[in-house]
Amino acid sequence: MRPTKTATPESQGRLTIPAASLGLRHVALYSSNYEASRQFYVECLGLIVDWEPDNNNVYLTNGTDNIALHRVQKKHFSDDTTLDHIGFVVACMQDVDLWYEYFRSVNVSTDGQPRTHRDGARSFYVWDPDGVKVQIMYHPKISL
């Protein structure tokens, strides 16, 4: 989304946003465990390969959202990352529990059982092979 200058006299050259964003649909992650991370997102989360231009980059999708994995050496990472987590939204509260049971069945560690939050959301977390925290979440305002 790119601000543009408007030509209207009342704006007098101020920046305005031309249209609302359609939402956050793309996340790019560095991966020092590239093969394991690729397997996690494809086999555990059910994403499909949209494009794999080479052995160091893959773009995965669920049809709407897109995750890019870029192979890097471990030394590329910093302890001061500002990323807390990424989240996958599910359609209903019961789906959170089904995902939790599924991850347990394939031996993926969770942060504990799903919990319902004060705003009516329900979620839990797992970690991908690079340690990225991944939230599985139902939220009444954004779930379909």
Q: Are residues 70 and 90 in the same domain?
A: no
Q: Fill in the amino acid letter for 52.
A: E
Over residues 54-109, the pLDDT tens digits come to: 999 999 999 989 999 999 887 666 666 768 899 999 999 999 999 999 999 999 99
Amino acid at 81: T
Residue 79 lies in a domain: no
105 and 63 share a domain? no
Domain assignment present for 15? no
Say if 17 falls within a structural domain.
no
Name the region of 86 (left: φ>0; alpha: ψ -120 to 50; beta: rest).
beta
Q: How many domains does the chain have?
A: 2
Residue 2 falls within a domain, yes or no? no
Domain at 38, CATH number: 3.10.180.10
What does residue 84 show for φ and ψ, rounded to 5 degrees?
Answer: -90, -55
Residue 120, sorted as left (phi over 0), alpha (psi -120 to 50) or beta, turns out to be left
Q: How confident is the model at residue 2 (pLDDT cuts 50, 70, 90)?
A: very low
Angle at the Cα of 81 (from 75 to 87), degrees rounded to 5?
115
Which pLDDT value is given to residue 19? Answer: 72
Q: What confidence category does residue 4 fall into, taking pLDDT thresholds of 50, 70 and 90? A: very low
Average pLDDT in the chain: 86
- Kindly state whether residues 143 and 89 are assigned to the same domain: yes
pTM of the model as a whole:
0.75
Listed in sequence order, the residues at least 6 apart from 111 whose beta carbon sits closer than 8 Å to its beta carbon are 124, 125, 126, 133
How much is the pLDDT for 56? Answer: 96
104 shares a domain with 70: no
- Domain presence at residue 54: yes
Same domain? For 96 and 53 the reply is no
Per the model's pLDDT, the better-predicted residue between 5 and 123 turns out to be 123
Provide the pLDDT confidence category of residue 3 given band limits of 50, 70 and 90.
very low
Q: Residue 11 domain-assigned?
A: no
The answer to whether residues 90 and 142 belong to one domain is yes
At 68 the pLDDT is: 94
Structural domain boundaries enclosing 44: 24-74
Q: What pLDDT score was predicted for residue 21?
A: 66
Domain boundary among 43, 74, 105: 74
What are the pLDDT digits (tens) for 10-64? 556 667 667 776 777 889 999 999 999 999 999 999 999 999 999 999 999 999 8
* 119 and 91, same domain (yes or no): yes
pLDDT at residue 75, as a whole number: 66
- Cα separation, 144 vs 138, whole angstroms: 9
In a domain, residue 48? The reply is yes
User: Do residues 96 and 123 lie in contact, with contact meaning Cβ atoms separated by under 8 Å?
Assistant: yes
User: How far, CA to CA in Å, does 136 sit from each of 11, 40, 93, 98, 133?
Assistant: 42, 14, 10, 10, 10
